[in-house]
Structure 1
Amino acid sequence: MYNIAFNRLAKPWWHPNFIYNILPARVATDEIVENLNGFIKEIIIESWKRRKMFKNSKYGNFIPVVDRLASYIEKNPDDISSEDFMNHLMTLFTAAFDTLTIVSSFALLCFGMYPEYQEKAVEEIRSVIGESPRPIALDELNKLIYLDMCLKDVMRLFPIAPFIIRRPLSDFSLGKWVIPKEAALLVSIYHVHRDERYWKCPYHFYPDHFLPDEVRKRHIFAFVPFSAGPRGCIGKTLANVVLKLFLCNVLQRYEIEADGKVPDLELRSDISLRPKYGYNCRLKKRM
């Protein structure tokens, strides 16, 4: 679906519906949408069964997001329609599934290419969690400062959305230019994150970019992996928790190896940024 969406965005001759509707991509789109809607309906049915089962007892410490939303809608039916509920779940799924996969995979690749930083991250994890793998608490994740620096530099090098598009609501001055109202404004986060004016090692994995002193010296918008302002990603806190949790579990158990360095990677972009030839790394059981 991402490939189809990007092709329709990038190919002007796909824009008119009367052309798009006769393309094979339209048939594929309808099939994918039907499958996704079926998947979301199954999630809602499972939520209903789960909430009925736990109606007179406690869930425990974890309540799925879908159950929270479904319970709210049952109590406030005029606030969100069934169609909006399905659309919200679709947004949560599509925004989290591919993004977390890509960032976590790039992180493993960077750790494999730069083993010195991998070992520093492992030392920190062991100092907080211990020598043996075990479940990790949220307050322990918050203590993993160096792992957080590593993750940020991965997202600097490989922003999940390399480009964002904005439409100015009024004319405004940007340096010596005037950007007119309603213009299509494309911002290249990828290039901002590799601007030599703000980054000591712009083309390499270098977690020290996020030492407190380095952060203070940079412009606040030199690092925007989740965009910024009112259109910024609302899931960034959850994403950071999930990614750190994943990396902790992998690094406790495996040593990652990969050939080359970041500048050797050939990248491609659709809706997101990806390596052209896959995430080529090796895992060895950590002793």
Structure 2
Amino acid sequence: MNALSIVLGALASGSNFSLWVTLVMLLTFGFYILYRDKRASERQKQISLLPTLTKTYWGILKNSLHVASLRPQVILPYFSSVLKRVGPLVHFKVMLRDYIIINDPDDIKILLCSTQHITKGPDYKMLEPWLNKGLLTSTDEKWHTRRKLLTNTFHFKILETYIPALNKHAYALVQNLAKASKNDEVITDIDSHVTLCALDIVCETIMGVNLRSQEGQSIDYVNAIKTNDCMFCFTSVSNIVIKRIFTFWLWSETIFNVSTSGRDFYKSLKVLHTFTENVIQEKKQKLNFAENQNAWTNERKRIYSFLDLLIGISKENPSMMTDLDIREEVDTFLFEGHDTSSIAMTMALIHIGMNQNIQDDIREELHGIFGDSDRDATMEDLKAMPILERVIKETMRLYPSVTGITRKLNQPLSLKNHIIPPETILVVVPHLLHREESMYPNPEMFNPDRFLPEQCINRHPYGYIPFSAGPRNCIGQKFAMYQMKTVISTVVRYMKLETLGTQKDIIVSTQLVLRADSLPSLKITPLFNNNFKY
């Protein structure tokens, strides 16, 4: 039964409100085709010169319904098969929108290096109720101003002050894993443990708040941003957003707001925003009190969180950093800081447990740094871990956290072999780029040696973009690397990992960031005795 038959059958039964909405959208689409203006026709002539999946109106309708029906687990395999069949550039239309996936690093460099084409795709607008127009979603002058303001908050001297918090929460993770593996119990939910560790880290460093999620605290907030275990239940904010991106009838604000997804979205959003707003107000009061105390004691040495720094910027530039501006940046970095790094750390631990020779090499490297001591890692220690860094880079090659990067063109863009007209949405999928055999032979194999210096010399610099690239690259990538190195090195120092499965047991899906739907279990053997300092 084809997609249209399914739609018509469901409409006839009257059983699905969303499909009635689809019919309205399809009628709107039909009127657009009949009455579109001459400018749009000229633009479509340029589009018609590109390799495409949607050559006819029926093809557009069929493709729109097909994309809307894709399960999160099959999105990446589907587009991988499309690129293999059509080539490194392919156009497709979803209702009224023209998308082009590019997978040639030369084309990707042209796009991401551009200082003109920095407008994010329309999918990012669906994040605005959550993240408003912060660094991730803003564009033009606001983005330039905000990026400049925030760059200093990720200076290495600031990042160095976060190292104690990274160590503290990494040791808490080790303790939790030790408890969970008592009596030779197998760890079946390593991703949950790592996610809570990452959440504790970003809450302390970003907000200056000890969330204590690894201790079972702050349950409402954790549940609001944590992914639901069932991939068909889009109850978390991030899952609902990705569902909306691929389900074209939910693009309409009116339809989304009355849908079950919309109601769940705003319910969870209220928890997130209330938590952030309360923390901001409490932090402001504490900072005012601390300033008054400092005036009397002259004691000025303290550790500043990202939120402290934003409040400081607000005092110096009140028109450029309001309370709403502070909230949108804190919400942005809370989301990006824990969700993106937790999947990378989880996958790294799984692969370290699969490859005992690699684990031995990492542990030998760490022993050369720490010896038999149980001291905390320092910034200098973290810089002296090339083997672990290669493992992390290979992990992010296979499992880049960001599943897609989009740009909406406001003017024509000349790629290597094609000219792309304005209003087109360009899509870069790092997961597919990082599996190009021309750059990565045997691409599914986990091989950290790909990132030995001699292996990287001739590789295209835009063939590896786990943190994006160009002017809109990830501002927090150094923080993320320090976080991952601290957590993974701490686990390996104190625990032996054995993965009870193979790489084939890993099943991922496309959510707002990459998600692990299924992972092999881990057998963990603590290497420390009862005198372990934490």
- Equivalence for 1:36: 272
- Equivalence for 1:286: 527
- Equivalence for 1:26: 262
Q: Percent identity?
A: 27
Residue by residue, what CA displacement relative to the aligned partner does 1:125-151 show, whole Å, maximum 9, x if unpaired? 111122233211101111111111111
Q: How does 1:158-177 map to 2 (within 5 A)?
A: 158-177=399-418
Runs of 4+ in 1 over 6 A off after TM superposition: none
SS in structure 2 of the partner of residue 70 of structure 1: helix
The AA in structure 2 aligned to 1:5 is V
Deviation at 1:180, TM superposition (A): 2.4
TM-score (norm 1): 0.93
* Contiguous gaps of at least 5 residues in structure 1: none
SS in structure 2 of the partner of residue 276 of structure 1: strand
Which deviates more, 183-192 or 210-219? 183-192
Q: For the residues of structure 1 that align with 2:333 and 2:520, how far apart are their CA atoms? A: 25
The AA in structure 2 aligned to 1:280 is S
- Equivalence for 1:63: 304
1:279 to 1:162, Cα distance in 2 relative to 1, 3 A: farther
Q: How does 1:2-151 map to 2 (within 5 A)?
A: 2-55=238-291, 56=294, 57-60=299-302, 62-151=303-392
Residue by residue, what CA displacement relative to the aligned partner does 1:142-179 show, whole Å, maximum 9, x if unpaired? 11111111111110000001221122343334343332
SS in structure 1 of the partner of residue 518 of structure 2: coil
The AA in structure 1 aligned to 2:300 is K
Does the 8 Å contact 1:14/1:20 carry over to 2?
A: yes
1:172 to 1:53, Cα distance in 2 relative to 1, 3 A: closer
- Equivalence for 2:422: 181
Does the 8 Å contact 1:105/1:279 carry over to 2?
A: no
Which deviates more, 160-169 or 95-104? 160-169
By percentage of residues, which structure has more helix? 2
Deviation at 1:184, TM superposition (A): 1.3
* Contiguous gaps of at least 5 residues in structure 2: 1-236, 529-534
Deviation at 1:203, TM superposition (A): 0.7
Does the 8 Å contact 1:103/1:158 carry over to 2?
A: yes
1:120 to 1:53, Cα distance in 2 relative to 1, 3 A: farther
Q: For the residues of structure 1 that align with 2:267 and 2:524, how far apart are their CA atoms? A: 36
Which deviates more, 163-172 or 111-120? 163-172
TM-score (norm 2): 0.51
Q: For the residues of structure 2 that align with 1:271 and 1:228, how far apart are their CA atoms? A: 19
The AA in structure 2 aligned to 1:226 is F
Does the 8 Å contact 2:280/2:307 carry over to 1?
A: yes
Q: For the residues of structure 1 that align with 2:282 and 2:450, how far apart are their CA atoms? A: 44
The AA in structure 2 aligned to 1:44 is I
CA RMSD in angstroms comes to: 1.7
Aligned residues: 286
Q: For the residues of structure 1 that align with 2:279 and 2:360, how far apart are their CA atoms? A: 40
The structure with more radius of gyration: 2
